[in-house]
Amino acid sequence: AGLGGIGLDTSKELVKRDLKNLVILDRIDNPAAIAELKAINPKVTVTFYPYDVTVPIAETTKLLKTIFAKLKTVDILINGAGILDDHQIERTIAVNYTGLVNTTTAILDFWDKRKGGPGGIICNIGSVTGFNAIYQVPVYSGTKAAVVNFTSSLAKLAPITGVTAYTVNPGITRTTLVHKFNSWLDVEPQVAEKLLEHPTQPSLACAQNFVKAIELNQNGAIWKLDLGTLEAIQWSK
């Protein structure tokens, strides 16, 4: 999701760099945000395609065919769709985990060096909850742990596939995502308020470190983006 919260701020930081193309796939079109991105740096071609990560793999593949035909090369995929609402169990798993796995699987069709592909880079957005759960939202925290594990596996498969991978894991960031959300079985009705009592970071600081992590391009890295800092996590194997 390139047009909401951290995604939009990250997109703004990305277009300031020496990019040729930025393709944004999101469920909701936001023409004002697209126009803003185009205005930041007219040298970058910004295009938007409507996409819901919960669609079947075949549909993702169809969309990717269109994108690859147009651009010829795609260097990096950023999987950033996410929801935080432990009342919506199936949807949380579908968006945060299944969707990310399916989109990754679909792009491998175009990138896998065993199929003559050029390889590529996958940047998956996890969360600090992936290695330090917010226990009141166990469904969300569980999906993020799955993302970190899945991505660490992709990184180890790079010699086979030619596709490298790493995770970017934001801490509590001041976005609409955290202002109000439901805990699992309402175990903590005040979960958002309690969370926001802790130190947080602004979305822009997170976005700037996000782009730093992309530029560092370290296969297998588990980046922690918290309180305005960027830190590599050593996760016990």
List the domains of the chain with CATH numbers.
5-233 (3.40.50.720)
Helix (H, G, I), strand (E, B) or coil at 218: coil
Of 9-13, 88-92, 157-161, 179-183, the one with minimum mean pLDDT is 179-183
Per-residue DSSP letter, 20:
S
What percentage of the chain has pLDDT greater than the value 70? 97
E strand segments, 183-228? 201-202, 222-226
Q: Quote the CA–CA distance of 123 and 10 in Å, as a whole number.
A: 13
Told to judge if 140 belongs to the known catalytic residues of this protein, a careful annotator would answer: yes
Let me know: does 123 contact 166? Beta carbons within 8 Å.
yes
Instruction: Look at residue 144 in the predicted model and tell me its pLDDT.
Output: 98
User: Which of these is catalytic: 51, 97, 135, 140?
Assistant: 140
Let me know: does 149 contact 157? Beta carbons within 8 Å.
no
Of 163-167, 217-221, 231-235, the one with minimum mean pLDDT is 231-235
- Decide if pLDDT at 24 tops 70: yes
CA–CA distance from 233 to each of 4, 71, 119, 148 (Å)?
26, 34, 25, 11
Instruction: Look at residue 236 in the predicted model and tell me its pLDDT.
Output: 64
Q: Quote the CA–CA distance of 74 and 66 in Å, as a whole number.
A: 12
Instruction: Look at residue 175 in the predicted model and tell me its pLDDT.
Output: 83
- Rounded to the nearest 10 degrees, the angle between the axes of helix 203-216 and helix 5-15 is 50
Q: Quote the CA–CA distance of 36 and 120 in Å, as a whole number.
A: 28
Instruction: Look at residue 146 in the predicted model and tell me its pLDDT.
Output: 98
